[in-house]
Chains A and B, each alone.
Chain A
Amino acid sequence: MAKQYDIIIRLLMVGDSGVGKTCMLCRFADDDISSTHVSTIGIDFKIKTLTIDGKKIRIQIWDTAGQERYETITKQYYRRAQGIVLVYDMKNEESFKNIQKWMKYISDFAPEDVELILVANKSDAYNSERKVSKEHGEMFAKEHRIPFYETSAYMDMNINEAFIMLARIVMKRHKKEIDKQMEHIRLFCREDSDAHIIEKQGKDNNGCCVLM
């Protein structure tokens, strides 16, 4: 398969069951939420390619099952993540409270330099349905110094913004490796036009960069 990307970054989505993680992801990756009305078993996975600051970025996003029973499996993926989207449902206070729990898992299992964002999904909710105020969400995010977004996968509000923001801060964090990698790929392209070799080399580099 021809690899049309330059750089891979790995994101992970966590949050309680039913907060809309899969919907967000499908909206972002496929711009379609019609097929997502199904619970995630274990872990799902999507890819989206974007150009950010002139760099072609391949974003891999792992979508985890929110239910506790799957935590043993989903936690396998924490340590591979460079960025994590913490999602709660603004109509469900419990899911907001549990953000603490998810933060704890992240500090236990994810790499130290992982970047986070906090997302309050379902902003299409009527005011009467809202259980977690924007201020509460913002306060929490501020405390932990992470960006905060209110999104609606259903109405396609802020979804792209949230993911792109996370991709950007991940890229910033890994700037050194990424620049090195870009340089490497560019050199390779000049030296040899054999797509296969480029692809292989690119892949190896990515693997290396991403997993460090």
Chain B
Amino acid sequence: MSICVHPFPECSASREDVAEPVPSDVLPMLSFKGVSHTPSVESDSWTFVDITQLPNKTDTSELNSKFLGLEDWDIISAKEVTGNLNGNFGKDRSMVAMPFVGAFVNQVEKTINKVQRIFISSEIEDEIAKAARPPLSDADFHKFLDQQGRLVRPGEFRLHVYHGGIEPSLRKVAWRHLLNIFPDGMTGEERFYYLKRKANEYADLKKKWLSDEREEVKYITNMVHKDVLRTDRMHKFYAGGDENHNVNKLYNLLCTYALSHPDVSYCQGMSDLASPILYVMKDEAHAYLCFCGVMTRLKGNFMLDGLCMTKKFDHLSMLLRCCDPEFYDYLGEQNASDLFFCYRWLLLELKREFAFHDALSVLEVMWSSLPPDYPEGELELCGPPAPLSPCMSPTDRMRFKFAKQRSVSQGGSSPGSPKSSDTTFEHFDQKTDTSKIHNGNKQKKRLHSKDSSSIESDISEESGYSSKSTSVDQTPQSVINNDLPIVANHFSEPEPTKERKTSDGKSSVKSPSVATTNGSVNKNPYSSLPPPQDFGGGNPFMLFMCLTLLIEHRDYVIGNQLDYNELAMHFDRMVRRHNAEKVLYRARTLFADYLRAEINMTQAECASPVNSPMKRSVTGHKGESC
């Protein structure tokens, strides 16, 4: 099928200062003459782009042939593929889902396979230069829109950004799409009014707390105030005295978010996430919308239960073990295999590790690696009421441990022993803790029983889900009787074919080599990793960025025999100094290898759906991917 694409004039007009596409009565080019998707030959400015789409309904054999011919596809969106599979295999929504990002694979040189190669290669600069793609320009962006300004080719849009980033002047428009603030299929005009309406909604939310004199409110606004005064103040946008109005905007939007989302509230680090967004958007309300978009995905990072962060640590650790077992072992010897020194990387998705302007590129590339996640209906600007009071006492808070799996598996070791003090978290009584969390959830459920996709890690919901969707080694009993923190189920769930949890409750992530000797079919190291939907809490590319940072410094760290503290300091010194281009290049290459392995695996499973229909169950559900 052919779609005609028209350079969309309203966008260029609106790019810099006008918020978003202006309505049709302002710009005659944006008219609604009922233009169909047929090519119009009258105008030279029409461009024809062929795109191929997966048919909505297809039988299994056709689907398989499509998968096998994967390399012919420009882009495959998660939606299309899951849709197809659901159609074929019935109601099971946890069926095989090809990552949206699968398409990236074909964009990268196929000859590069070895991790080492890209790190040893002395011609890296040349390779980067060769691989460099131009950033997304205004004209490029138009190609992804239809005449009414609908983003009709979100996959290609993201792919372009993934490889080349975005021209700074287009960021304002493009980031709104990357951050999923618009519902699917909006025309330019609809977006314009939508933004306007949402900006008003924001203004109302802001008014509410501005006139609220309660102590709790003051407590939160004080916290925010302390932090905006020390967020990116070296950048001229935020520089100068405390009366800098951008600092004030940042303060307003963070306070509004915290007070409209009592379940999340405010946490240090959020200002780092909001700061680049405000810098790009300039407009406070629009920045707020985008921040909500980011937080939909990242609020789990800031939750007290720590489940989301624990999962990310575990996944990064698995990845490192997979790709660089020697370094992994070295860190183990230094009692640093908890990777605690990467805390800030994972929490802020590396925002602080790069210089401000580099961070903008890194962030947009990272966002573009994720499949679009349009809000259903509209973007929610406020969250549910808090299930627990944000001002609960510190002792209450203490009961929410940072549920590190290992702390349980090593539960027998005495807290005072050097080993456990280096590598484990506190040893709380597991049962007390779990029951506490479940109670919390019951309460939460009562409050928002309708909100099934509600963001906060609704643990009982999750474990219930995993018992349904996983089949091989996860029985509902094992979920219920499990003494482990629930996170263990959560992350062992996506790939039941690999043994992640033995019956005695100890974690046993098998290294690729072990798996092979046991006669498993693993042929590549990546096959033991979770699928992209789950990996890294739904942001696998970020893990590959972290992996790259680690591997880039591994020779130095091992060569100098840095101990735990020294290597923490070493990486601290690298703050804002990493080379974004290089790191992105390497991370893309590694990520492509991983995705290729994923695709091969999915293909194999598609080819024999009867034998292994549930092998790669997937948590395709917003609320569950942290």
Residue numbers in B under 8 Å from A18 (CB-CB): 226
A69 CA to B352 CA, complexed, in Å: 19
The answer to whether B421 and A1 have CB atoms under 8 Å apart is: no
Q: Mark A34-65, 1 if CB is under 8 A from B, else 0.
A: 00011111111111000000000000100001
Inter-chain CA distance A208–B418, complex, in Å, is: 8
Least CB separation from B227: chain A residue: A39
- Tell me whether A43 and B343 are in contact (CB under 8 A): yes
Q: CA separation between A39 and B226, bound complex, in Å?
A: 9
Smallest Cβ-Cβ distance to B229: which chain A residue: A37
Residue from B302, B348, B400, B566 with most neighbouring chain A CB atoms (10 Å) = B566
User: Are the CB atoms of B569 and A45 closer together than 8 Å?
Assistant: yes
B347 touches A41 (CB 8 A): yes
Q: How far is the CB of B26 from chain A (nearest CB, A)?
A: 43
Q: Which 5 A-B pairs have the closest CB atoms?
A: A72-B402, A18-B226, A42-B343, A211-B418, A41-B344
Contact with B along A62-104 (1 / 0, CB 8 A): 0001011111110110011000000000000000000001001
Give how many A-B residue pairs fall within 8 Å (CB-CB).
90
| Residue pair A41, B352 in contact (C-beta under 8 Å) | yes
Q: Is the CB of A70 within 8 A of B268?
A: yes
- List 11 extra interface pairs beyond A72-B306, A80-B421, CB under 8 A: A1-B560, A38-B230, A38-B352, A39-B227, A39-B269, A41-B272, A43-B340, A45-B565, A72-B400, A79-B421, A211-B418
Chain B neighbourhood of A111, CB < 8 A:
416
Would you call B36 an interface residue if the criterion is a C-beta within 8 Å of the partner chain's C-beta atoms?
no
Bound: A104/B267 CA distance, A: 22
User: B282 in the interface, Cβ–Cβ < 8 Å?
Assistant: no
User: B397 — nearest CB in chain A belongs to which residue?
Assistant: A68
A41 to B231 CA separation, bound complex (whole angstroms): 12
Q: Which residues of B contact A104 (CB under 8 A)?
A: 394
Contact flags A17-46 to B (C-beta < 8 A → 1, else 0): 110000000000000000001111111111
In the assembled complex, the Cα of A207 lies from the Cα of B565 at a distance in Å of 12
A203 at the interface (CB under 8 A from B): yes
Contact B416 A79, beta carbon cutoff 8 Å: yes
Question: B352 near A73 (CB under 8 angstroms)?
Answer: no
B residues in contact with A46, CB < 8 Å: 569
Interchain residue pairs with CB less than 8 A apart (26):
A1-B561, A17-B226, A18-B226, A37-B230, A39-B227, A39-B271, A41-B268, A41-B344, A41-B348, A43-B340, A45-B565, A45-B569, A46-B569, A47-B569, A68-B394, A69-B302, A69-B304, A70-B268, A72-B306, A72-B402, A73-B402, A79-B421, A80-B421, A80-B422, A109-B426, A203-B563
Which of A41, A47, A207 contacts B269, CB < 8 Å? A41
**Chain A CB within 8 A of B384 CB:** no
Residue of B nearest to A17 (CB): B226
- The interface residues of chain A lying within 8 Å CB-to-CB of B226 are 17-18, 39
A211 to B268, CA, bound (A): 30
Complex contact B566–A1 (CB within 8 A): yes
Do B268 and A69 touch (CB < 8 A)? Answer: yes
Q: Which of B223, B229, B416, B572 contacts A45 (CB 8 A)?
A: B572
CB–CB A39/B421 < 8 A: no
Contacts of B343 in A (CB 8 A): 41-43, 73
Q: Is the CB of B230 within 8 A of A75?
A: no
Q: Which residue of B lies closest to A22 (CB)?
A: B230
B398 sits at the interface (CB 8 A): yes
Task: Give bound CA distance, A72 to B568, whole Å.
Answer: 19
Smallest Cβ-Cβ distance to B571: which chain A residue: A45
Q: Closest CB-CB distance, B559 to chain A, in whole Å?
A: 9
Give complex CA distance A151, B347 in Å.
32
Q: Given A47-B565, A79-B421, A72 and B231 touching (CB < 8 A)?
A: no
* In the complex, B382 has a CB within 8 A of chain A: no
Closest B residue, CB atoms, query A102: B394
A39-B227, A41-B352, A76-B426 known; A65+B568 contact, CB < 8 A: no
Q: B200-216: which residues lie under 8 A (CB-CB) from chain A?
A: none
Which of A46, A69, A101, A111 gathers the greatest number of chain B CB atoms within 10 Å?
A69
Q: How far is the CA of A207 from the CA of B569 in the complex (A)?
A: 18
For residue B401, CB closer than 8 A to chain A, the reply is: yes
Q: Which residues of A contact B348 (CB under 8 A)?
A: 41
Given A70-B268, A73-B343, A79-B421, are A39 and B565 also a contact pair (CB < 8 Å)? no
Do the beta carbons of A39 and B230 come within 8 Å of each other?
A: yes
- For B306, list chain A residues within 8 Å (CB): 72
Question: Could you tell me the distance between the alpha carbons of A43 and B227 in the complex, rounded to whole angstroms?
Answer: 16
- In whole angstroms, what is the CA distance A207 to B335 when docked? 12
Report the Cα distance A70→B227, complex, angstroms: 15
- B230-249 interface (Cβ within 8 A of A): 230-231, 233-234
| Complex Cα–Cα for A206 and B111 (A) | 48
Least CB distance, B336 to chain A, in whole angstroms:
12
Complex Cα–Cα for A42 and B269 (A):
10
Kindly state the separation between the CA atoms of A172 and B304 in the bound complex, as whole angstroms.
39
Q: Is the CB of A72 within 8 A of B347?
A: no
Q: Cβ of B607 < 8 Å from any Cβ of A?
A: no
Q: What A residues does B381 contact at CB under 8 A?
A: none
In-complex Cβ contact of A67 among B229, B268, B401, B402 (8 A): B268
User: Does B568 lie within 8 Å of A38, measured CB to CB?
Assistant: no
Instruction: Give A211 to B335 CA distance when docked, in angstroms.
Output: 13
Q: How far is the CA of A109 from the CA of B426 in the complex (A)?
A: 9
Given A39-B271, A42-B343, A79-B416, A72–B425 Cβ distance below 8 Å?
A: yes
In the assembled complex, B415 has its CB within 8 A of some CB on chain A: yes
- Report whether B268 and A60 are in contact in the complex, using a CB–CB cutoff of 8 Å: no
In the complex, what distance in Å separates the CA atom of A50 from the CA atom of B234? 32
| Least CB distance, B232 to chain A, in whole angstroms | 8
Contacts of A17 in B (CB 8 A): 223, 226-227, 268
B contact residues around A101 at 8 Å (CB): 394
A69 touches B267 (CB 8 A): yes
With contacts A17-B226, A38-B230, A79-B421 taken as known, whether A72 is within 8 angstroms of B268 at the C-beta atoms is no
Please, what's the 1-or-0 string for B385-420, where 1 marks a CB less than 8 Å from any CB in chain A? 000000000100110111000000000000110100
Q: How far is the CB of B334 from chain A (nearest CB, A)?
A: 11
Cα-based distance from A130 to B201 in the complex (angstroms): 40
Q: Does B562 contact A (CB under 8 A)?
A: yes
Q: Could you tell me if B418 and A207 are in contact, using CB atoms closer than 8 angstroms?
A: yes
The complex places the Cα of A208 from the Cα of B417 at a distance, in Å, of: 10
Q: Complex: how many Å from CA A71 to CA B393? A: 13
**Of B230, B234, B398, B562, which is within 8 A of A71 by CB?**
B398
Contacts of A37 in B (CB 8 A): 229-230, 233-234
Point out the residues of chain A lying under 8 angstroms from B401, CB to CB. Answer: 72
Q: How far is the CA of A65 from the CA of B340 in the complex (A)?
A: 14
Contacts of B230 in A (CB 8 A): 37-39
Q: CB-CB < 8 A to B425: which residues of A?
A: 72, 76
List of B residues within 8 angstroms of A68 by Cβ: 394, 397
Which positions 301-350 of chain B face chain A at CB distance < 8 Å?
A: 302, 304, 306, 340, 343-344, 347-348
How far, in whole Å, are A72 and B427 apart by their CA atoms in the complex? 11
Partner of A60, one of B402, B415, B565: B565
Distance A18 CA – B222 CA, assembled complex (angstroms)? 10
CB distance from A201 to the nearest CB of B (A): 14
CB of A42 within 8 A of CB of B344, answer yes
B267 touching A67 by the CB < 8 A rule?
yes
The answer on a CB contact under 8 Å between A45 and B231 is no
CB nearest to B403 among chain A residues:
A72
Closest chain A CB from B16 CB (angstroms) = 30
In the complex, what distance in Å separates the CA atom of A69 from the CA atom of B267?
7
Q: Please, what's the 1-or-0 string for A138-179, where 1 marks a CB less than 8 Å from any CB in chain B?
A: 000000000000000000000000000000000000000000
Nearest CB in chain A to that of B417: its residue: A211
Please provide the chain B residues from 533 to 572 with a CB less than 8 Å away from any CB of chain A in the complex. 560-563, 565-566, 568-569, 572
